[in-house]
Amino acid sequence: MSNRAAVMTGIEEIAFEQRAEPLPGPHDAVVRIEAVGVCGSDTTYFRVGRIGDYVVKGPIVLGHETAGVVEAVGAEVTNVTAGQRVAVEPGVPCRNCEQCMRGRYHLCPFLQFLATPPYDGAFLEHLTIDARSLHPIPDSMSFEEAALVEPLSVGLWACHRADLEAGDDVLVTGAGPIGIVSAMAARALGARDIVLTDVSESRLELARSMGFETERADAPEPDRDFDVLIECAAAPGVLAAALRRLRPAGRAALVGMHKEELVGIPQSELNPQELTIAMVNRYAHTWPSAIALVASGRIDVKAMITHHFSGLDDIAYALMLGKHEPESLKAIVNPNA
């Protein structure tokens, strides 16, 4: 069984390795990877070598938005079988700590997350992973759609963290992939008006093509307020300005990760509004809902895909796609094509 891998060996450097044939442990499955989405975190690791406290200190395989076909399972696996098509939830928790036992497995201090240093990711032909991280998908769902269940889960979790309710008016700052899926999730969950902001006209045009209202982030703010803010831009000044647009008892979910260690907000101005501000750390328990929303057609994640790459040879270009082609939004790689 071939297992070619694209390995980041340094800043903006990729080498290719033929790795050993993958063998599943008792609780593992081996997945033939059919689609991997290129995430902004992959690009940041590739170009900068770190995200916050997560630092690339040696060779690493990137990629965590992924789906494929189960090729082998361990002796104690009961939830999937060889031949099943699956979406891969990229975090593997310990399942025994206090956070896991309380259902907050995404906060597990021992979580092993694909393509987060020091753990390898999915830009390879075959992935071995705990089978409990695999979610079967219907035959009607493409592998590309299944790979994008991962970013969609971030959007769904952001809506959950913001206590979004049907009929809410929602402001999404940042019309990149996570902003787009957050808006998609909000619409599927019954939000009334959804407005996305960005400085990129191409991204705003794509958002409009999906039926969303848009605003230029660098234009004077219109006199309009919202119940919910989903902040995905992580740009200087955006958070404070967006919080000012929330109605009394408004709720905000902060998704974007700012480069600054400290981010200021006008507390004395906002305190009388009694806003609720929630942090967002990936997701938990979102995958069945996300798969159902995509399979039913209520959310069309395919609309985000702007580029496709067959095989692993063009991984370096795919990881730098935003630099080469600024109007790109989401690239999908098929390592086995």
Give the full edge-to-edge strand order of the sheet including 194-198.
213-216, 194-198, 170-173, 226-231, 246-254, 276-279
Distances in Å between the alpha carbon of 105 and those of 93, 133, 158, 307? 6, 12, 16, 33
CATH number for region 152-279: 3.40.50.720
pLDDT in tens, the chain (337 residues): 889 999 999 999 999 999 998 999 999 999 999 999 999 999 999 999 999 889 999 999 999 999 999 999 999 999 999 999 999 999 999 999 999 999 999 999 999 999 999 999 999 999 999 999 999 999 999 999 999 999 999 999 999 999 999 999 999 999 999 999 999 999 999 999 999 999 999 999 999 999 999 999 998 878 899 999 999 998 888 999 999 999 999 999 999 987 777 788 889 999 999 999 999 999 999 999 999 999 999 999 999 999 999 999 999 999 999 999 999 999 999 999 9
Which regions of the chain carry the CATH code 3.40.50.720?
152-279
Which regions of the chain carry the CATH code 3.90.180.10?
4-147+300-334
Q: What residues contact residue 189 under an 8 Å CB cut-off, 6+ apart? A: 156, 159, 164, 166
What span, in angstroms and rounded, lies between the C-alpha atoms of 24 and 72? 7
- The CATH superfamily of 4-147+300-334 is Medium-chain alcohol dehydrogenases, catalytic domain (3.90.180.10)
